[in-house]
A and B are shown apart, each in its own frame.
Chain A
Amino acid sequence: MSSQPAKGAQKEFRKRDLFYLVPLWVLSLIAPDPYLYHKKEFKRKDLYYLGAIGLAPLTWSDPHFHHVMVLAGIYAILALGLSLFMGYAGQISLGHAAFFGIGAYTTAILTTRHGFSPFVALWASVLSASAVAYLIGRPILKLKGYFLALATLGFGEIFLVMVRESTDLTGGVIGIFGIPWFSVAGFSFDTYLKQYYLIWGVVAGLFIFSKNLVRSKLGRALLAVAASEDAASSVGINVPRIKLEIFVLGAAFAGLAGSLFACIMSTANPETFGLGVTVPIVMMVILGGMGTIYGPVAGAILLTWLMDILSRYQEYSLPIYSIILILLLIFFPDGIGTRLNVRILYLIGYWAKKRKRDEGKL
């Protein structure tokens, strides 16, 4: 399908074709392709992404760019964890923000009250979020579909109530202030540029981990569970166990993100960890494409920048944002990455054949 129109496009090359072809080509480089691992060049493309992420802050040496990308990176970690649970295992979780919050509060309490270093607090956050996820996951992962969504939603709300009411531990509605910068062995990440490399370094590490994970036995089992839980259990997959493992893993990612978030924002308070963060994360996973790991990262970057750019439209920012989201969902129902390549091929083919079709040759 792709070879013939491409030939036609070369033959009847017009300058104005560049106007749409060049931006689309650039988009296709930036946007992820879930089918890349079938092809040989997947390593080259991964290196391209890594290079782009590594060089971008030097090209735009603007603190605002670094800051927004830091936030995007944190959301990318969250979305990556959720994508494993939602996209691969096919489960719904609306309580992901609670694990984010557990991570942030663990770091906040350990660093400000007990004088632990942020590095130690980071691991404690990961552990505490995973431990809570394990305890919660044991009973609620027996639920399926919407019931699981409701249970996780409830868990998120219960977490917020607990944080608001246990004033002595969490500072109640006022929260905790003055959390120190993230630092490792005396090296403090005190500028947005350093934080950029810290966060995106973590994202890259988790990305490689997830990529290997989904191609492992566990990853295959997850896809089977997503397709049909009954069928998966009939071929000897321990469905509850697999679901629990991936739930705990997603929570660990969220705990990690929460810890980094607390260090960067220097505060932790309950309003930050409600539905207001869960819904965008779910949107990032859906927009990026379910069942890919490039998708959530691309979705996180896209949505974070979208919100930042729309900020200047003040009270109109929210309507514009929602219209863009609706359009994206209509035209890219499988995620911005998944449909883009197909769309580009279609567009190239369409325009290339246009003249022939007009001339009645086709």
Chain B
Amino acid sequence: MKNIVSLLSVLTLIFVVWTSPAHVAEKPYKIGVNLEFTGPWAEVTKTVKNAMVLEVERINKMGGIDGHLLELLFEDNGFDPGRAAANMTKFTADKEIIAIVGPFEDNLQATTRAIAEREKITNMIICPSNPMVRSLKQKWAFNIAQSDIIVSQKLVDLSLARKYKKVLVFHGAWPLAQSLANYYKAFGEEKGMKVIISQETHKPTDIDMTPQIIKLKPIIEKEKVDAFYACTGGPPGPIICKNLRTQGIKIPILGTHAFGFGFIIALGGEAMEGVEFPAAKPVVFDQLDENDPVRPVNIDFDKRFRDRYGVGADQLAGYGHDTIGLIYDALKRCQGKVTRATFREALENTKGLKSCHGIYNYSPTDHDGLSKTDMVFVRIEGGKFKRFKLPGFE
């Protein structure tokens, strides 16, 4: 008898636990993240990952989406197209995964975007830059960061406002830098500027550009170039500025949106003074206009990021924040049951989502979320990023 009572009580206990709210919670929505956690982008992707984890935890604390929690599944692709593609198939094979984020590098995106198209799963690309891939107008791929087109347009605006007639472009030998240079030339020459793209290039791993600059010096002097466009990203940016100043070249330097990181100033020091570039809003979020809709989002996110990781949020953290923001927003708007197809529909209809980098709008013809108005002009002054306005262009 005693045994039966204890057995019954145990069974009752199991039944209670089984039917308790914690157990009947809805299945989580899974998002696959396919990024370069090892290799040259390791630091970059770590920041993006931290931001994504922070946002997902916040959303889950708020109760998720109609009781469904968000879950991120991370896979490292080791900067290798084969592994990036294999991760894609791993994620697509898991029927619970509704979207895939990444990879970061251009060369890996081409393959994963093709797989996404074939397998009919949303592929959110953080850093889309390769114009050839973007021009494919794929149905299932969505871009998050500012495209090279709007960065180049913004930089042409800056050059026109500063009345630069002749600009020499020294670009890096990778797709983003190359397409930035080409778009800058195309848009600049439309507005009557003369843009010279140098034959010299550099690689992301170069630690000294003096040989190239010595070759460019005669061109700068002969052509009487008004400004020098360091069309690059990462450590080469400050190295170019330093080498230019060491060679006694005093002309103004223009940079890309990839100059908006604290380490750029730390590396370049004095040489970075006066460098101007079009930047994403998170770079100078505290200097944005009081009525700027993305200002509060950035201030809030920066505070939470600083509390958790001890460093302030930067552009990359902003991309991580915006990615999760877009997913959350689309999931909330999904019509009926959330599937890969309904998620894509909802994401494509994103309108006016205020996030760190600006206001995201997708449409069936436009999968680039941001526009030219989501960028600001920034100058490096006294070792700090200073926002400035140019009448007629801001």
Contact = CB atoms under 8 A, between A and B. Distances in A.
Contact of A177 (B37, B74, B80, B132): B132
Interface in B17-47: 37-38, 42, 46
Interface in A14-72: 62-64, 67-68, 71
Interface string B74-93: 11111111110111011011
B33 to A, nearest CB: 9
Given A174-B132, A315-B42, A68 B74 contact: no
A265 B87 CA distance: 13
B90 to A, nearest CB: 4
Nearest to B110: A267
Contact of A276 (B75, B79, B136): B79
A172 interface: yes
Nearest to A305: B86
Contacts of B79: 276
A173 B201 CA distance: 12
A360 B308 CA distance: 63
Interface string B129-144: 0111100100000000
Given A63-B93, A67-B86, A318-B38, A311 B111 contact: no
Interface stretch (B173-181, B223-231, B351-359): B173-181
A187 interface: no
A265 B78 contact: no
Nearest to B73: A312
A169 to B, nearest CB: 15
B173 A173 contact: yes
A308 B34 CA distance: 12
Interface residues of B, number: 39
Interface string A178-195: 100000000000001000
Contacts of B110: 175, 177, 266-267, 269
B220 interface: no
B288 interface: no
Nearest to B105: A271
Contact of A64 (B81, B93, B178): B93
A216 to B, nearest CB: 33
A307 interface: yes
A263 to B, nearest CB: 12
A315 B133 CA distance: 28
B37 A174 contact: no
A273 to B, nearest CB: 10
A269 B107 contact: yes
B86 A68 contact: yes
Contacts of A68: 86, 89
Contacts of A174: 106, 130-132, 175, 178-179
Nearest to A270: B107
Given A64-B86, A64-B89, A265-B81, A271 B107 contact: yes
Given A173-B175, A174-B175, A318-B38, A265 B93 contact: no
Contact of A265 (B42, B82, B105, B106): B82
A209 interface: no
Contacts of A269: 107, 110
A314 interface: yes
Interface in B88-116: 89-90, 92-93, 105-107, 110-111, 114
Contacts of A308: 83, 86, 90
A211 B276 CA distance: 64
A210 interface: no
A163 to B, nearest CB: 11
Contacts of B74: 312, 314
B76 A313 contact: yes
Contacts of A318: 38, 78
**Interface magnitude class on chain A:** 20 to 34
Contacts of A128: none
A297 to B, nearest CB: 17
Interface string B142-155: 00000000000000
Interface string A300-323: 000000011011111101100000
A339 interface: no
B76 A173 contact: no
Given A71-B86, A173-B175, A308-B86, A267 B78 contact: no
Given A173-B174, A173-B178, A311 B107 contact: no
Contact of A314 (B76, B81, B93): B76
Contact of A192 (B73, B89, B105, B178): B89
Contacts of A312: 73-76
Contact of B38 (A63, A175, A266, A315): A315
Interface string A61-105: 011100110010000000000000000000000000000000000
A276 B79 CA distance: 9
Contacts of B179: 174
B89 A63 contact: yes
Nearest to B135: A177
Contacts of B78: 307, 311, 317-318
Contacts of B82: 71, 265
Interface string B47-78: 00100000000000000000000000111111
Nearest to B34: A311
A317 B107 contact: no
A269 B175 CA distance: 10
Interface in B285-325: none
Interface string A270-301: 01100010000000000000000000000000
Most A Cβ at <10 Å: residue of B46, B76, B131:
B76
Nearest to B179: A174
A67 B89 CA distance: 7
Contact of B107 (A64, A192, A267, A315): A267
Contacts of B80: 276, 307
B149 to A, nearest CB: 15
A67 B130 CA distance: 25
Q: Nearest 10 A-B pairs (CB), nearest first?
A: A314-B37, A318-B38, A67-B89, A267-B110, A315-B37, A311-B75, A64-B89, A64-B90, A269-B107, A317-B76
Given A315-B37, A318-B78, 11 more contacts: A64-B90, A173-B175, A174-B131, A174-B132, A265-B85, A265-B111, A267-B107, A269-B107, A276-B79, A308-B90, A314-B49
Interface of B: 37-38, 42, 46, 49, 73-83, 85-87, 89-90, 92-93, 105-107, 110-111, 114, 130-133, 136, 173-175, 178-179
14 contacts: A62-B93, A67-B86, A68-B89, A164-B173, A173-B173, A174-B130, A174-B131, A175-B110, A266-B114, A267-B114, A272-B81, A308-B83, A311-B77, A312-B76
